[in-house]
Amino acid sequence: MRLRLLLAVAVGLLPALGAVAPAQAADSAQAHRPRLAVAFPHTMVRGKSAAVRVRESTARRHRLLRVSYRPSGGGTWRLAATARETKRGKARIRFALPATGSYLVRVDLARYRQGQRTVRARKVYDTVKAVPVVAPAVIAHRGGAFEAPENTMAAFSRAIADGAQVLETDIHQTSDGTLVVMHDPTLRRATDAEQVLAPGEADKPIWQVPYSEVAQVSVDVGPGPAQPVPRLSDLLTLLQQHPATRLLIEAKDTTQQPNLMETMLAQLTAAGIDTSRSGRAVIQSFDVNHLQTFAAAHPAVAVSPILQQDVTDPRTYSWAVSITLQTPWASAAQIAAIHAAGLRVEVWLVETLPGLAAYADAGADGIITDAPAAALAMYR
């Protein structure tokens, strides 16, 4: 009787035991499943090696690890380095990224045997930013035309607040002698002059328009509310409040305004802005002959010709402190040749993230861009 009772109890427990055993087995398998933990360097200097630290739990043997990378925006995966983990499941893999930019980096654990089955490769991803060995100066083109109305006090103030080291701007002279910050020779494109001024005034050259008319219009090209057209004196007052900020200032249409550079220099000097070859302000122009004549009359003043050509003999520009070179001609070899002649190179105009990366790696001393905030974020 007792034996029958024991058998009945045992038979009654079998379903319950059958239900519990698979769950326990699953929990056990989950507990012993290897896990891959990776510590990525989130910022590194391009071309210099950094280490990825990898740790795998429950490791039992040497296993192959691979580090691969590709640009964050897409592209081909490339192998950066391989290594074998130790018996304790640890590895420190040194690798380098070839150029400035943002990359997606992954660590692959190769296939291996675990008991009677093959475990497939697992991947761990993270974003790593490579910064230039020496970051170029970020030069806010027209104050940063992608971030505020161009060539306005709002743009200049925003660029300084973001951390741009240099402001780039353009100067014209009104018919009554006021220096104003404006790129175009007329008010039509960048302002609301067509709606505000008398018919035909928007298309007059600025040097034929009195300042009283310029003061009535607002710059409405660029994000944010429309802004007044600044005078050069307004910009110099801002620079006096930010002594670390430099200025790259272009004299526009010098054939029509032959005394413009002299007037600009006088205002810079009166405001206490250092225009020496090691100072805060550089005067630039497309009119290379006029600029060279000005430099001969003022050899201590820093000037920079704006070039759209190959520079076959940079030594012919020894009267300048730098060359402002347009992007199609700003190769690494060209920049190196200009450097060999003792001149700096500012590259103009760089608008894309790949361009910001490429010209930094080519050795440019300054990057002129409408998006200074993006450039600063890339180079930091």
User: Model confidence at 221, in pLDDT bands (50, 70, 90)?
Assistant: very high
| Confidence (pLDDT) at 10 | 41
| Confidence (pLDDT) at 36 | 76
| Confidence (pLDDT) at 121 | 59
* Residue type (1 letter), 100: T
SS3 content of the chain, % helix, strand, coil (to 5): 30, 30, 40
Q: Return the sign of the alpha-carbon dihedral for residues 255, 257, 263, 265.
A: negative
Place of tokens 């009787």: 1
Instruction: Report the residue count for the chain.
Output: 380
Q: What are the b/e assignments for 296-332, b being 16+ CB within 10 Å?
A: eeeeebbbbbbbeeebeebeebeebbbbbbebeebbe
Cβ atoms within 10 Å, residue 267 = 16
- How is residue 314 annotated by DSSP? G
User: Model confidence at 114, in pLDDT bands (50, 70, 90)?
Assistant: low
- Express each pLDDT in 127-174 by its tens digit: 999 999 999 999 999 999 999 999 999 999 999 999 999 999 999 999
Which has the closest alpha carbon to 206: 277, 256, 242?
256
User: Percentage of the chain surpassing pLDDT 70?
Assistant: 86
pTM for the model stands at 0.86
**Residues 264, 282: Cα–Cα separation, whole Å:** 11
> Would you state the structure tokens that stand for residue 169, as one six-digit string?
């701007």
Count helices and strands in the chain by DSSP H and E runs: 10, 21
Mean pLDDT of 259-288: 98
Q: What are the b/e assignments for 231-256, b being 16+ CB within 10 Å?
A: bbeebbeebeeeeebbbbbbbbbbee
Q: Between the CA of residue 21 and those of 71, 269, 275, 297, 327, what are the distances in Å?
A: 48, 88, 84, 95, 70
